[in-house]
Amino acid sequence: MYNFSMGTRRDNWRFEIEKLPPEGTAARPFSPFWFSVEPWDTLAVRGAPALLNCSAHSGDPASEPTAPQARVEWKKDGTFLSLAPDDGRRRILPDGSLLISSVVHSKHNKPDEGTYQCVATIDSLGTIASRTARLTVAAIPHSTRSHGLTRHYHHGKSPDPSGHTAASK
């Protein structure tokens, strides 16, 4: 049997999952498991890189310096991405973010455009799923293209003033 609770931590969701011990044994304290960074809707340019950020953590670093690392996977349009080691175009970075090194987009082939979701698992705690984020590929005429530019739009917010992110410059 499992016990589940949730709350917020610095405006990000935090989930606490605990496997309940058998009757008659002492209860364990909750182990926090949360996203410190979740993906946002992103406007990408064909041929340029795109970055969907994600980072999940567990435990309290002050009291649990050896807390287990989360295993991060990504879903696109509700299906887990199969990221082969030889896929040089898409990869999961050490922090859990998804990097698409060169966005592919044409009239009949739009493999990168869609809805993405970060899924983090710690075997002893369980699995959590981030908010969903839409990756949209802009149709920019060749004469006005600025290679390597990606804009991030946040629900209910305007894009950052420069329209740039450090990872995509």
Cα 132 from Cα 155, distance rounded (Å) = 11
> The sheet that has 55-58: what strands, in order across it?
2-9, 12-19, 31-37, 55-58
Q: Is 56 in contact with 71 (CB distance < 8 Å)?
A: no
Report pLDDT for 118.
Answer: 98
Q: Is 126 in contact with 17 (CB distance < 8 Å)?
A: yes
- Which residues are CB-neighbours of 162 under 8 A, at least 6 positions away? none
The ranges assigned to domains in the chain are 2-168
Question: What are the distances in angstroms from CA 120 to CA 100, 123, 143, 159?
Answer: 19, 10, 41, 27
Report pLDDT for 107.
Answer: 85
Q: Which of 71, 92, 95 is nearest to 82 (CA)?
A: 92
Architecture in CATH for domain 2-168: Sandwich (2.60)
Q: Tens-of-pLDDT digits for all 169 residues of the chain?
A: 444 445 544 455 555 555 555 666 665 566 788 999 999 999 999 999 999 999 998 876 666 667 788 999 999 999 999 988 777 799 999 999 999 999 999 888 999 999 999 999 998 889 999 999 999 999 766 555 555 555 554 544 444 444 444 444 3
Q: How many Å separate Cα 10 from the centre of its chain?
A: 17
